[in-house]
Structure 1
Amino acid sequence: MAQESVAPTTADVTHGDEQHGKQNALGPILCWAVVFADIGTSIYYTPGILYHNVQGLAGFFVFLTMAVFVLLTLKYTEVSHRFPQGGGVVTVAAHALNPWFGALGGMFILVDYFLTATISCLSGVIYLSVVFPALHPWAEWVTIGVLILLGLLNWVGISESAKVSLIGAAIAFVSDIAILITVFTHISFGEFLALFPRMFQESHLTFPALLVGFGNAFLAFSGLESISQLSPVMKLPRKKTAGLAMFLVVLTIGITSPLLTTLSTMLLKDAAQDPVRNEQIISLLAGHWGNTILQAEVAISAGALLIFASNTAIIGAYHVFMALARMEFLPSFLLKRNKLRNTPHFAILLAVGVPIAVLILVQGNLTILGDMYAFGLLGAFALTCLGLDIIRARDWKKAREAEEAEEWGRLLGPSEPLTGTDGQREVTTTHDLQLSGTPQPQRTGALAANTQEAEVMASEAETKSLWFKIDYFLGILTTLLVTIAWTTNLVTKHLATIFGGVITIIGMGVAYLVYIRAKKVTGRVPVPIVVTRIEGRIPNSVLAILLPDNEHNKAVIRAAITNADQEKPIMFVYLSNRQPRQQTPRMMEIVDPYLEDTQAKQYFGRAESLAQQAKVPLRRYVYLQGGPESVTHIWQIVNPHDTVIAASDNDYIKDINPDRIRYELTPYGKVAHLLKTW
């Protein structure tokens, strides 16, 4: 299957984005708050779980993994601005590989969300039991009650606020700093440095132990994926916003997580070894070196923030359910909303029900939950990294092709310019930025051509830069390191592999059954990659124009497939007249106009089914916001050999000069073939 690339914008701003930028968009501070409120909670349960696995080396492994975390933030920053519709691993894997890998990524991130909701909520209740000891014997059942309450709140439709995240994140960060200041008023810097030799004296570090500890320590950085889910509500330009937010995340996590893990596991040995107290170890650290007031404050703030993080995971899970349902990999009933509150009650029920079932299954054992965590988290990291590497490789390849085309243009001279009919330089775009989450402005004629050329030139400059090449190889190194951590956990964390594997197999099995049913019952299938920008010249191609509510679309589809051969790619272009959504996206929501356009999905699905039957190897699907008058500009950019359009729509075509026009009468209506030899 041919993959379609899309062109970037020079400033990451479109007309639709301009409106988005004015409406409650999240700046770097609020994005940091949402991400830190997720990653920052990991410190409360990570030291105890890590100590169970690697003893006194817990702090060392968090310091070690911090380097890979920094590399991961570079990749997730890029994901955030490349894919403004959100979706993270689902979107990246679908566009880099194919939709089935997107579905696989969805299963990975769902496993991650299920365990995040369970671990965070249980850990939150355990921390609250420091202040309210009567809670601890009933922690499992209290956690179930809290999860049910969170489900009801989401059913009611109480949305999560970034401003609330900011308050929680600020309190947590200030509390962490207060603990560090308190501890360092009692021990000297030399005594702190002396902790590291003690780590290796008490624990023997072998190569297998190094791999196991490295894989386990990623638990300290769970929550990074949430930055890619904020893309639809991120202030423009997204690249700058995501970059600043990630810088703040690295700074704050770098100051707190490795130090608190080291101090808690090395200075509170008795608590770290105790199966009950190690689940409250950060609060106990505050009380041991400070006072009961600081201990209580840390316990209460940690408990509240952990429960808040659990709710974030629930929200993320049901939005992934809905996205996979819109992609037609999960049953459509998950999209149903109740009449009372207009919330997706079935998706919310699953997002809450699975964590409750997991909690009951492990009988509220936090250490077991921590061991189960690795599969989904590292699987999502690895697939996201691999997908981004593939997209970057395409960019580099297209940059070289563009340079070669430009060189040929200079050699051929003015007699054979590499131009389209509008006189603009034809260069393959060099960036795989997906913009399906943002409606595109309507541009025609010279304005559109000039805009596209500016975008191409900006993208070429970026891809040719030294930083792009450095980032490319750093990205491959990141993928390798994350994959090593994941495969190590697959072998050593049997519960994680079993749980994650079962959930993934069930999910992919359901996706396959939904796919087969759609193919048999409706005669259409979920389509491969759908993009929202025209890439550039596709010589000797067939361009099929599909319009909303047009009774002749079936005729256009059949005629395009019938007249294509093994060497002619078909580009199906659907010109949507849908108005851009007016409401601001909610946090963690995946926003993609195509996935919400039922009619476009039906036509593309029918086209894909017929193309598969005809064994057409090269087919592309493009979804554009615009009217029939846009066909002229599309034709000028693509340079197709055959443009197929309903004969009744000929009046819409302006400034197209085919060599000849051939009409074809089909059972579904009359179509026109505009034939051109370029």
Structure 2
Amino acid sequence: MRFGQIKRLLIGSPLRTRQLTHEKLPKWKALAIFSSDALSSVAYATEEILLVLAIIGASAFSYSIPIAVSILILLLVVTLSYRQIVYTFPSGGGAYIVARENLNVPLSLIAGAALMIDYILTVAVSISSGVAALVSAFPSLIPWKVALAVFLIVILMMLNLRGIRESATIFAYPTYLFIFSVLIMIGFGSIQLWKEGWHGYQAQIGNQAHDLGSWVGILLLLRAFASGCSALTGVEAISNGVPAFRSPAPRNAAITMIWMSLLLGIMFFGITLLAQAFGVAPKEHETVVSQIAEHIFGRGPLYYLIQIATMLILFLAANTSFAGFPQLTSIIAQDRFLPRNLAMRGDRLVYSNGIILLSLLSILLIIGFKGDTHSLIPLYAVGVFLSFTIAQLGMVKVFLNEKKKNMFRIAITGIGTMITGIVTVITVISKFTEGAWMVTVAIPLLVWLFFAIRKHYNDIAKELRLVHYTQPKKVKTKVIIPISGITKVVSQSISYAKGISDDIVVVTVDFDDDHAGQMREKWEEWNPGVPLIILRSPYRTLISPLLKYIDSLEKEKEEGEFITVLVPQFIIKKWWHTFLHNQTALLLKALLIFRKDVVVSTIPFHLHH
């Protein structure tokens, strides 16, 4: 089976460009594809809060409720701000576009770099967390954590390469299964709590035994808040992908964002409340959600349904990045800050190169951190809250520049900017030694790379710009044809060479005098009308004598004259025939392609056997 056939089998037949409108998403599918990251964060956000509070002691778990309330207030502010971004910038791109249009290029690139890093981390965290949910239910799979995570990323990549609409249909059902299963768990848990009463950790806010009035205690509370803010990652995804929605895209995206935020708030607070009420504490190989589900349902069918649904939503949460990352990189690439091939749609009308790049970087991250969710989380929230802050700052400027100023919108967005800015600083400081330093270093490096790529494209454009439209001049070229023997392909090459130049020479490399003499006799007998140069190679190498001969011709040629090397090459019929022939032609082309005024061309000869 050929590569093309395998590709068609895996990702489907190519789609015409005009079919792009049919790939737009209705709200119910868009919720599944763009909100799975935000919704899935409820599976680990509460656990991250409790892990930090556990440093103080189990009695400090009572602080998880006020921390959760603070995060819900932040969610409300961010949602209101990003709804305005959806309406104001319907072309997508989120924080990057907002900053580019209203602030400046460096800030827009910082936002773009932060979002790109966050998308990569989203895939790594979501997949590793999904695998953690799976091994909580099936501990025998613990040794296979990394392999399972890599396998799931590859599957996700293949599904996304098939196209937006197909992947959305596939992903919709597990997303809604997770939503309903968590809501059922919260509902049954609330009934159980009402019947049995509060039997978990008692509220001890203000207890001086915690010593939370000290700087260390305050820092730990702030660190717990920053960890819980991972629940907000993914909220910006809808604003980045507005063009993927059906018309009217901004209105449908705004409605979907409200749905997402309501579901996120209910599920996050419900899980945090039940964890506190039932006395759930973090365990090494069992998630908080698993413990809550077991407490309510036991290890029965509903418990395994919730674990499987959690694993699936965390797996699909990574799909938010597969929707957002390629869209974002395509916009940055159109601005010439990333390679141009990231701006091109593939056969299935998706940004295939962006999807593949995201997959490879995420796999490297999973392998590097051994699939450990808790090691990846500290890297997570820095990028997203930095982009939140820049986006809202840009929107403040938009609203201030309006003729009819809406003070409510200005106030909400301004407050949101301050809060997310403070959260960014808290996250960096509180998690710096745990790994946040990597992101604070990676963002400037990525911005530097953006500028280096843009400079390269600008330099090339300047060098290639045709200032005066003059008629192209005919240039002289000396043609060199390297051969190993007298064959049909040599005859074909000479015939082609005579069509482009009168100055042709055939060159062969020989290792002994006897063979060289026989070669010259055969050449004179054939007499094709071009001279044969025989180069001796006492060390039995082919490439070195040819390169030295070309060097000598370069020194002798006139200014503006070219040297054309015609390399005869067999085109084999079956792939495995490649191993039966040497690859001298490929090596010679690779060595000559970087030489000025040397043109390398292949003369193909198609073999029938």
- Give the TM-score range, shorter chain: 0.5 to 0.7
User: 1:375–1:496: 8 Å Cα contact kept in structure 2?
Assistant: no
Aligned to 1:83: 89
Matches within 5 A, 1:26-175: 26-55=25-54, 56=61, 57-155=63-161, 157=163, 161-175=167-181
Give the alignment's TM-score, normalised by structure 2: 0.65
Specify the code of the residue in structure 2 equivalent to 1:478: G
User: 2:32–2:172: 8 Å Cα contact kept in structure 1?
Assistant: yes
How far apart, in 2, do the equivalents of 1:318 and 1:168 lie?
Answer: 23
Matches within 5 A, 1:299-338: 299-335=307-343
Specify the code of the residue in structure 2 equivalent to 1:471: R
Aligned to 1:490: 428
Residues 29/159 of structure 1: CA separation in 2 closer, same or farther (3 Å cut): closer
Aligned to 1:420: none
User: 1:490–1:496: 8 Å Cα contact kept in structure 2?
Assistant: no
4+ aligned runs moved over 6 Å, structure 1 = 19-22, 340-343
Which of 243, 246, 249 is equivalent to 2:260? 249
Specify the code of the residue in structure 2 equivalent to 1:307: F
How far apart, in 1, do the equivalents of 2:429 and 2:356 lie?
Answer: 32
How far apart, in 1, do the equivalents of 2:408 and 2:199 lie?
Answer: 33
String of CA shifts for 1:470-528, please: whole Å, max 9, x gaps. Answer: 12112111110110000111112114432212332232121111222233221299xxx
User: 2:33–2:323: 8 Å Cα contact kept in structure 1?
Assistant: no
Specify the code of the residue in structure 1 equivalent to 2:303: Q
User: 2:51–2:282: 8 Å Cα contact kept in structure 1?
Assistant: yes
Matches within 5 A, 1:14-33: 25-33=24-32
**Is residue 385 of structure 2 the alignment partner of residue 385 of structure 1?**
no
**Is residue 275 of structure 2 the alignment partner of residue 264 of structure 1?**
yes
Larger displacement relative to structure 2 (117-126 or 227-236): 227-236
**How far off is 1:110 after superposition?**
0.8
How far apart, in 1, do the equivalents of 2:336 and 2:372 lie?
Answer: 36
Residues 306/384 of structure 1: CA separation in 2 closer, same or farther (3 Å cut): same
User: 1:120–1:306: 8 Å Cα contact kept in structure 2?
Assistant: yes
**How far off is 1:205 after superposition?**
4.0
2:126 aligns to what SS in structure 1?
Answer: helix
2:284 aligns to what SS in structure 1?
Answer: coil
2:149 aligns to what SS in structure 1?
Answer: helix
Which of 202, 227, 230 is equivalent to 2:238? 227
Which of 278, 285, 293 is equivalent to 1:276? 285
Larger displacement relative to structure 2 (345-354 or 287-296): 345-354
Matches within 5 A, 1:395-474: 395=402, 399=403, 463-464=404-405, 468-474=406-412
How far apart, in 2, do the equivalents of 1:314 and 1:472 lie?
Answer: 32
Residues 265/205 of structure 1: CA separation in 2 closer, same or farther (3 Å cut): same
User: 2:243–2:249: 8 Å Cα contact kept in structure 1?
Assistant: no
Larger displacement relative to structure 2 (76-85 or 125-134): 125-134
How far apart, in 2, do the equivalents of 1:305 and 1:325 lie?
Answer: 30
How far apart, in 2, do the equivalents of 1:196 and 1:239 lie?
Answer: 46
User: 1:80–1:230: 8 Å Cα contact kept in structure 2?
Assistant: no
Specify the code of the residue in structure 1 equivalent to 2:99: A
How far apart, in 2, do the equivalents of 1:196 and 1:255 lie?
Answer: 22
Specify the code of the residue in structure 1 equivalent to 2:115: I
Larger displacement relative to structure 2 (328-337 or 290-299): 328-337
User: 1:81–1:238: 8 Å Cα contact kept in structure 2?
Assistant: no
Specify the code of the residue in structure 2 equivalent to 1:304: L
User: 2:200–2:277: 8 Å Cα contact kept in structure 1?
Assistant: no
Give the unaligned 5+ runs of structure 1: 1-18, 400-462, 526-550, 553-678
Aligned to 2:376: 369
Larger displacement relative to structure 2 (144-153 or 26-35): 26-35
Residues 471/195 of structure 1: CA separation in 2 closer, same or farther (3 Å cut): farther
Residues 203/189 of structure 1: CA separation in 2 closer, same or farther (3 Å cut): farther
Specify the code of the residue in structure 2 equivalent to 1:245: T
Aligned to 1:515: 454
Give the alignment's TM-score, normalised by structure 1: 0.59
How far apart, in 2, do the equivalents of 1:158 and 1:71 lie?
Answer: 30
User: 2:43–2:289: 8 Å Cα contact kept in structure 1?
Assistant: yes
Give the unaligned 5+ runs of structure 2: 1-17, 55-60, 470-609
Residues 273/471 of structure 1: CA separation in 2 closer, same or farther (3 Å cut): same
Residues 268/524 of structure 1: CA separation in 2 closer, same or farther (3 Å cut): farther
User: 1:91–1:102: 8 Å Cα contact kept in structure 2?
Assistant: yes
Specify the code of the residue in structure 1 equivalent to 2:240: Q
How far apart, in 1, do the equivalents of 2:383 and 2:420 lie?
Answer: 12
Specify the code of the residue in structure 2 equivalent to 1:469: M
**Is residue 224 of structure 2 the alignment partner of residue 213 of structure 1?**
yes
**How far off is 1:195 after superposition?**
5.6
How far apart, in 2, do the equivalents of 1:480 and 1:234 lie?
Answer: 30
**How far off is 1:362 after superposition?**
2.0
**How far off is 1:155 after superposition?**
4.2
Residues 487/34 of structure 1: CA separation in 2 closer, same or farther (3 Å cut): same
1:328 aligns to what SS in structure 2?
Answer: coil
How far apart, in 1, do the equivalents of 2:292 and 2:244 lie?
Answer: 37
User: 1:168–1:305: 8 Å Cα contact kept in structure 2?
Assistant: yes
Mark the structure with the bigger radius of gyration. Answer: 2
User: 2:26–2:246: 8 Å Cα contact kept in structure 1?
Assistant: yes
User: 2:389–2:420: 8 Å Cα contact kept in structure 1?
Assistant: yes
How far apart, in 2, do the equivalents of 1:497 and 1:152 lie?
Answer: 31
How far apart, in 2, do the equivalents of 1:153 and 1:499 lie?
Answer: 31
**How far off is 1:360 after superposition?**
2.1
**How far off is 1:287 after superposition?**
1.8
Aligned to 1:593: none
**How far off is 1:328 after superposition?**
0.3
**Is residue 135 of structure 2 the alignment partner of residue 197 of structure 1?**
no
Aligned to 2:304: 296
String of CA shifts for 1:272-292, please: whole Å, max 9, x gaps. Answer: 332221xx2213311221132
User: 1:80–1:231: 8 Å Cα contact kept in structure 2?
Assistant: yes
User: 2:181–2:306: 8 Å Cα contact kept in structure 1?
Assistant: yes
Specify the code of the residue in structure 1 equivalent to 2:378: D
User: 2:200–2:276: 8 Å Cα contact kept in structure 1?
Assistant: no
Specify the code of the residue in structure 1 equivalent to 2:283: D
How far apart, in 1, do the equivalents of 2:137 and 2:225 lie?
Answer: 34
Residues 491/357 of structure 1: CA separation in 2 closer, same or farther (3 Å cut): same
Aligned to 2:294: 287
**How far off is 1:129 after superposition?**
2.4
How far apart, in 1, do the equivalents of 2:184 and 2:365 lie?
Answer: 35
Residues 268/353 of structure 1: CA separation in 2 closer, same or farther (3 Å cut): farther
Residues 205/478 of structure 1: CA separation in 2 closer, same or farther (3 Å cut): farther
User: 1:62–1:220: 8 Å Cα contact kept in structure 2?
Assistant: no
How far apart, in 2, do the equivalents of 1:165 and 1:198 lie?
Answer: 42
How far apart, in 1, do the equivalents of 2:111 and 2:398 lie?
Answer: 16
1:124 aligns to what SS in structure 2?
Answer: helix
How far apart, in 1, do the equivalents of 2:439 and 2:232 lie?
Answer: 19
1:86 aligns to what SS in structure 2?
Answer: coil
1:364 aligns to what SS in structure 2?
Answer: coil
2:203 aligns to what SS in structure 1?
Answer: helix
Residues 348/227 of structure 1: CA separation in 2 closer, same or farther (3 Å cut): closer
How far apart, in 2, do the equivalents of 1:33 and 1:311 lie?
Answer: 9
Residues 297/362 of structure 1: CA separation in 2 closer, same or farther (3 Å cut): same
String of CA shifts for 1:223-263, please: whole Å, max 9, x gaps. Answer: 10111023113344455434433332232222211120232
User: 1:25–1:233: 8 Å Cα contact kept in structure 2?
Assistant: yes
Specify the code of the residue in structure 1 equivalent to 2:459: K
How far apart, in 2, do the equivalents of 1:475 and 1:342 lie?
Answer: 35
Matches within 5 A, 1:594-613: none
Larger displacement relative to structure 2 (291-300 or 95-104): 95-104
String of CA shifts for 1:263-312, please: whole Å, max 9, x gaps. Answer: 2255243xx332221xx221331122113211100011111111111133
How far apart, in 1, do the equivalents of 2:271 and 2:211 lie?
Answer: 22
User: 1:76–1:225: 8 Å Cα contact kept in structure 2?
Assistant: yes
String of CA shifts for 1:178-216, please: whole Å, max 9, x gaps. Answer: 111221232228945986724665855444344333322
User: 1:124–1:305: 8 Å Cα contact kept in structure 2?
Assistant: yes
